[in-house]
Copies of this chain bind each other. A is one copy, B any other.
Amino acid sequence: MNVDEKYFSNITKRERAIFEGGISMGALFHQFVGTPVNQKTKENLERSIEESFKLQPCIENVEVKINLTDNTEFDYISLSGDMLDVRIHTVIDDVKAIIRIEFIEELNYPLMYVEDI
């Protein structure tokens, strides 16, 4: 079976790039929110999130930055969506998209949007 032909011929390559990026961004957020994290474990967690979601369909690259306001080395907190600054790069043939989540001060919540396409 040709999956692309059967299930994705009703949308354009551009739309598919946006779709797959949206899926992975929603997935990433809800998979990892709640994970214990602090300054010491932050970097490895960022790399591990990147690697895990690079496995998903049509994902070319993932860049994860966790913003910890707390600077203490010993305590820890639960990862929340507000701390996430993530770019997911998708590619469908010659179309590339960057999906972003970042905390927007004015909105007071983390917004997911298409940063570039």
Contacts and interface: CB of A to CB of B under 8 A. Distances in A.
B36 A33 contact: no
Interface residues of A, number: 51
A38 B52 CA distance: 8
A15 B114 CA distance: 10
Interface in A1-28: 1, 3, 7-8, 10-11, 14-15, 18-28
A76 B55 contact: yes
Please tell me how many copies of the chain the complex holds.
Answer: 4
5 contacts: A10-B114, A14-B15, A23-B112, A33-B78, A37-B55
Interface string A34-77: 11111011001101100111111000000000000000000010
